[in-house]
Structure formats: C-alpha cells, structure tokens
Amino acid sequence: MRNRFADANSRSRMLDILRREADASKTICRDTGDSRVSNGPEENESTESEVGSDDRDPSERFVDLDLNCDTLDTNLVWSKLPMQGKREFCRLINSGEIKNYVPLWIPWWHAKNDAVVEEVNPSIDGTNNPSPNRLPPPLRLSKIFLSGKLPHHSVVFVLLDVLLGYAFIARLYNGDYMDLKHEAASNFCQIVASFGCSRISKSPPNEKCRDTSRTVILSPISSRIPPTFSSVSQVVGSVQIRLCQLKFPCSPQTMVVLLEDTVALTRTGSNVCHALEDAHILINSVRSGIDTEGPTEHEAPKKQLLNAHHKLAFLRSCFNLQDPTALKWQASIFPIFQSQLSVELCKQITSFSTENSRHVEPAAGPNWRQMIRDSKERVITQLM
C-alpha cells in the first residue's frame, strides 16, 4: 500500500551489489579450497562439511519440499537457509529493500485487458457449471421483493463500503488474499461497517500461552447495528476510521488510492459483479471451512460471516447484469452515484495537496532547554 510502484534504480543497484557479493564469495571459496590442501585430514573433513552446508545450491536445499504447497511450514523453510542467507533476509526486511524483490502487482480493475473479468465472472459467460470457486447465480429482484418495489437508493453506499474494503484487502495481500483467507476475511469484515462488525479487536491469544492459574472474566459484547449511510463522505470517513483502529495505513494518500480503485471498479457493471463475486467467494470459503478445519488464529465470528454473506448475496442481486429489473434500477441510481464518487475523489485529492503545501513551523531542537536558560530576558518581570 505504501509503495505502489517499484523503484527501478534501487532494484538494479541491489542486483549489482548481489552480483559483487556472489563473485566475492566464489573467490573466498577458491582461496579456502587452495588452503585446505595443507590442512590435516580431520580439519579438511570439518571444513568441507561447513562449506558444503552453507554453499549448497538452493535447489538442493529445498529438493524435498513443495514450495507451491499452501500448507508448507515456513519455519521448515527458514531452518534450511544458511546463516548468511538468514542475515541477508533480515537486513532486507529491516532496511525496507525487500520491496524491490516483490513483484509489482497490478490490480485487475486497472488492467487494460478486460478478458480477465469475462473469464472469471460466471454471470457474463452464461455457464452454470459447478466449481469450488464459482457461486450460484444471484437471485432476481422479483423473487426478493415480491411486491415489485425496487431497492432503496442507499444501497449504493453499502456497495461503496464493500468495494473500499475489497480494494484495501486486495492491495494489502498483493492480490493473494485467498492464501490467508481467514485473516483476510476477518480484516475485511472489520473494515466494512455495513457487515455489522461487533468489535474491533486483534487476534485472540494463543491457547498455549494462557496462564491456567489466572482467572479471566469475559464480558459479552453486544452486536453493533450497521450504520445507515446517506453520503459518500460518510462511507469514506467510516472506512478511514476503521483502518486507523485496526492500525492499518489510513493516511489521506491511502484514501485517495482506494477511491481511485473504487472509481475504476464502478466504471463498468462487469467490474462490480467481479468484485462482489470475489468478496463473496472469500467469505463463503471461510464459512465452509470453519466446521471442517476447526478454529484458527484469525477467525471472524460466525454471525459476522453470515451477515457478510447475506449482504453480498443481496448486492449481487441488485447489480445482476442478467436481471432486467436490476438493470432498470441501476440505470436510475448509478449515474448519480458515479458523479458523487468523482466529486469525493476530487475533494480528497485537493485536501491532500493543500495539506502537503502547508508551511510547517520549525520544531524545537534537542537543545531547547539550553536556549531558554541562555535567554537574558526574565520570564516573570513583575509579581502582581
């Protein structure tokens, strides 16, 4: 989220450094091999074992591991790294240079090729073949509203709440949110206030770390009623507050990026259907795995997941491209909503630019106490 574009200069500079280090290590290994001839047999064996354990090819180290497996133990991979590799990895993490090695992920809604949406969205290709990553087609509005009425116009604000949360989760996990679906679904449900999140909390403590000798008093937490939004600004403010409470990036720049994502998502009806389906698949995959996989460290409450499921199912029905009633309703409210969204984006960009151009007064330096003591003027000149 903080680095949308990779730095090409940093990447090339880091690759040059790694090449020089690799050449230097080869030279050291050759010198070590030449000096090993003069050593005794026992010392030769110990030196060969140390060098062999640290200079093995990475393919030989991980030959017995399936690196593409979803259940791969990261601690096992870490244990197979040499000490020099572990130190280099920690150095890259601490310096922030690791971002130069992470592939730049381009969101599908910003991609120029629209074939991605057509391939994933089952409501467009017209097929209803069962698949673990496919959902049943959404219900028609005539089956939800038997009286023939249309959804309320405030449904678009619920859609905005969901799309902002979806865009943030997709960027947070670099597009691979299904790899950590329990954590991603929990964060998604807590960011979107329309799902009726009951609390903002961190992950539960590990059972092994609990002290059985202590008495823990648990108090029930009443569920929070989902808010009723009446403007785009209220939705944006709600998402920003929740990101701040969850200690996620919540700066004005982050909100500008999320609003740009939402504008791109709402540009076409197929984009909206694709995003809602992705979010629905994420929630349903976690709901179906609760009973089979058991509780995990990051787990959203069942009631919260159920509320999210119902909201997403209703939104998919409202924005169904195969329902004439839904298309009629979309034509009446969507142009106004898109205009409001563009105005809010311009407002956020303007406020962000104004804040950056504001003059900042110099703060007091580390020697401010000495500056006060050196002043010849007395603070109190006369006692009343």
Q: Is the pLDDT of residue 44 over 60?
A: no
Q: Cα(252)–Cα(358) distance, rounded to whole angstroms?
A: 15
Cβ neighbours of residue 265 under 8 Å, at least 6 residues apart? 109, 163, 166, 167, 271, 272, 275
User: How much is the pLDDT for 196?
Assistant: 81
| pLDDT for 214 | 45
Q: What is the DSSP letter of 80?
A: T
Cβ partners under 8 Å of residue 264, min gap 6: 107, 109, 110, 271
Task: Please tell me what DSSP assigns to residue 147.
Answer: T
The mean predicted confidence, pLDDT, of the chain is: 75
> What integer pLDDT is reported at residue 227 of this predicted model?
80
Report which of residues 131 and 345 the model is more confident about.
345
Of the candidates 260, 278, 285, 288, the residue with the CA atom closest to the CA atom of residue 316:
278
What pLDDT is attached to residue 75? 84
Q: How far apart, in whole angstroms, are the C-alpha atoms of residue 300 and residue 308? A: 11
**The amino acid at 188:** F
Query: Residue 121: pLDDT band by 50, 70, 90 thresholds?
Result: very low
> Which is more confident, 123 or 349?
349
State yes or no: pLDDT of 28 exceeds 80: no
- Residue 39 reports pLDDT greater than 80: no
Q: How confident is the model over 217-252, as pLDDT tens digits?
A: 434 444 567 788 889 999 999 999 999 999 999 999
- pLDDT at position 12: 67
Counting runs of H as helices and runs of E as strands, what totals does the chain give?
A: 16, 0
Please answer whether residues 23 and 29 qualify as being in contact, where contact means their C-beta atoms are separated by less than 8 angstroms.
no
End-to-end alpha carbon distance in the chain: 58
Residue with tokens 């303007």: 350
Which pLDDT score, from 0 to 100, does residue 82 have?
85
pLDDT at 23: 64
Tokens in use for 108?
Answer: 């599908």
Q: Among 9-13, 42-46, 302-306, 340-344, whose mean pLDDT is lowest?
A: 42-46
- Under DSSP, the state recorded for 224 is P
Q: For 277-290, write each residue's pLDDT tens digit.
A: 999 999 999 988 75
The answer to whether the beta carbons of residues 162 and 315 sit under 8 Å apart is yes
pLDDT at 155 over 90: yes
Report pLDDT for 117.
47
Longest dimension (CA), the chain: 95
pLDDT of residue 327: 94
Q: What's the pLDDT score for residue 120?
A: 45
- Nearest alpha-carbon partner for 319 in 276, 280, 279, 265: 276
% helix, strand, coil for the chain, step of 5: 60, 0, 40
The mean pLDDT of 136-156, rounded to a whole number, is 90
Instruction: Dump pLDDT digits (tens) for 66-98.
Output: 777 767 778 888 888 888 888 888 888 888 788
Give the whole-angstrom CA distance, residue 296 versus residue 289. Answer: 10
Rg (CA), the chain: 28
- Look up residue 7 and give its amino acid: D
Region 360-372: what's the mean pLDDT? 60
The position carrying tokens 């059985």 is 212
- Spell out the domain ranges in the chain: 8-100, 108-203+225-355
Distance CA 279, CA 307 (A): 13
Local structure of 29: helix, strand or coil: helix
Residues 6+ apart with CB under 8 A from 340: 231, 232
Give pLDDT, residue 212: 47
Distance from the Cα of residue 334 to its chain's centroid: 28
Percent of the chain with pLDDT over 70: 60
Provide the residue type at 39 as one letter.
N
C-alpha separations of 79 from 25, 48, 59, 73, 221 in Å: 22, 20, 15, 10, 42
Looking at residue 77, its amino acid is V
Q: What's the average model confidence in pLDDT over 146-171?
A: 94
**Half-sphere exposure for 370 (CA within 13 Å, toward CB):** 3
Q: Map residue 334 onto helix, strand or coil.
A: helix
The average pLDDT across 123-141 equals: 60
The residue type of 251 is S
Q: Write down the residue that tokens 């449904």 correspond to.
A: 155
- Say if residues 269 and 351 touch (Cβ distance below 8 Å): no
pLDDT confidence tier of residue 301, bands split at 50, 70 and 90: confident
* pLDDT computed for residue 66 by the predictor: 78
Which pLDDT does position 58 carry in this prediction? 63
Percent of the chain exceeding pLDDT 90 equals 37
Query: Tell me: the pLDDT tens digits for 178-215?
Result: 988 999 999 999 999 999 865 554 444 444 444 444 44
- The pLDDT of residue 15 is 65
